[in-house]
């Protein structure tokens, strides 16, 4: 997986910072996660092809997470898009987008498919042969979901020396890679573990923004390779975090520690602070390793 941060700051856009938006590349998919203002410009700035985006996941209907979406939908039309665009987000997102299209008499010339979410329990919202995506219910001022992206387990890898030793015909290779034992002509059973190696561990990524400290998500994100968790405030402003239902860097680290994740990425910073290193310093006391998101920064996961 490759994660590219297009924007990771809270509330309003500024000349040097952008609100939340990121792109996750996995198994030939280009998933767009949230779409704050300026997302189109950031996509162009970082050379990401609009045509590769077919699935957009919106966490909640606060402006800094989806006000860039109407413009992106419109630009797809201007670029002559023909293939489907799937948008996953809270109930109301279809009404918000289609109202703007209606008022501007600018209906898309491509299929626009909305998948509105209402469940307060985790649910699978996308699945194909290689990837599965499910929601992570969060605790914010409005209905909000994070998203968990997981590769499906790959086929086992052939032990070429072993299959040659047992003189197994190539016709059985696919069966072996799927985990099946082999029965020889004389009835001998050759266990699959002797013929294959374990596949690489499937890679996983959890996106959690915006939310108050919410330990109930821990079982859902247990041992993910990488967790992006909002850290709007430092502990010195924990009273503001509680009031606005956001999290501090320390609280994000507590979630990462409880879930035993591989790596924590902090983001959604309030712009009141002079240095992002303050967030890393606070979180690192509780959990390591900690990375800091920043606009234009990429991370390789797995």
pLDDT number for residue 186: 81
Q: Which position has the token pair 């430092």?
A: 234
pTM here?
0.91
Over the stretch 69-84, which tens digit does the pLDDT of each residue have?
Answer: 999 999 999 999 999 9
64 part of the active site:
yes
Mean pLDDT of 260-271: 97
State the catalytic residue, choosing from 64, 121, 139, 294: 64
Domain ranges of the chain: 2-154+200-300, 157-197
pLDDT number for residue 167: 87
Over the stretch 12-60, which tens digit does the pLDDT of each residue have?
Answer: 888 889 999 999 999 999 999 999 999 999 999 999 999 999 999 999 9
How deeply is 238 buried, as exposed, middle or buried, from its count of CB atoms within 10 A (0-12, 13-18, 19+)?
Answer: middle
Strands 131-137 and 226-230: unpaired
For the structural domain made of 2-154+200-300, what CATH number should be given? 3.60.15.10
Mean pLDDT of 96-119: 96
Over the stretch 137-176, which tens digit does the pLDDT of each residue have?
Answer: 999 999 999 999 999 998 889 999 998 988 888 888 998 9
pLDDT number for residue 138: 98
Over the stretch 187-205, which tens digit does the pLDDT of each residue have?
Answer: 889 999 999 998 888 999 9
Q: Are 46 and 4 in contact (CB under 8 A)?
A: yes
CA separation for the pair 156, 200 (Å, rounded): 9
Helix boundaries (H) for the chain: 39-45, 63-66, 69-78, 93-103, 160-165, 173-177, 238-244, 249-259, 277-284
Q: Which residues are annotated as a binding site for Zn(2+)?
A: 60, 62, 64-65, 140, 210, 268
Return the C-alpha torsion angle 197, 202, 203, 209, nearest 10: -160
State the chain's mean pLDDT as an integer. 96
């Amino acid at each position: 997986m490759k994660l590219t941060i297009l924007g990771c700051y809270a509330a309003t856009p500024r000349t040097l910072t952008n609100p939340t938006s990121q792109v996750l590349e996995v198994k030939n998919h280009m998933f767009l996660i949230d779409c704050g203002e300026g997302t189109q410009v950031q996509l162009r700035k970082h050379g990401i092809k609009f045509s590769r985006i077919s699935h957009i996941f919106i966490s909640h209907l606060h402006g800094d997470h989806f006000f860039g979406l109407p413009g992106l939908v419109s630009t797809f039309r201007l670029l002559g898009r023909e293939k489907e665009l799937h948008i996953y987000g809270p109930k109301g997102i279809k009404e918000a987008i289609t109202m703007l299209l209606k008022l501007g008499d600018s209906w898309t010339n491509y299929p626009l498919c909305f998948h509105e979410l209402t469940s307060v329990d985790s649910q699978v919202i996308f699945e194909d042969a290689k990837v599965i995506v499910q929601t992570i219910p969060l605790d914010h001022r409005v209905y909000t979901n994070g998203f968990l992206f997981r590769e499906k387990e790959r086929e086992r890898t052939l032990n070429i020396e072993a299959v040659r030793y047992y003189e197994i015909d190539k016709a059985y290779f696919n069966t072996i890679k799927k985990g099946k034992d082999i029965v020889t002509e004389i009835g001998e059973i050759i266990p699959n573990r002797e013929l294959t190696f374990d596949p690489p561990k499937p890679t996983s990524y959890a996106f959690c923004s915006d939310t108050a400290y919410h330990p109930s998500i821990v079982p859902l994100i247990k041992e993910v390779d990488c967790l992006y968790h909002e850290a709007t405030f430092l502990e010195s402003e924990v009273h503001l975090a509680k009031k606005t239902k956001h999290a501090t860097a320390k609280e994000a680290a507590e979630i990462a520690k409880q879930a035993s994740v591989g790596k924590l990425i902090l983001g959604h910073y309030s712009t009141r602070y002079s240095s992002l290193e303050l967030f890393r310093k606070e979180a690192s006391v509780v959990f390591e390793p900690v990375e800091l998101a920043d606009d234009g920064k990429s991370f390789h996961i797995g």
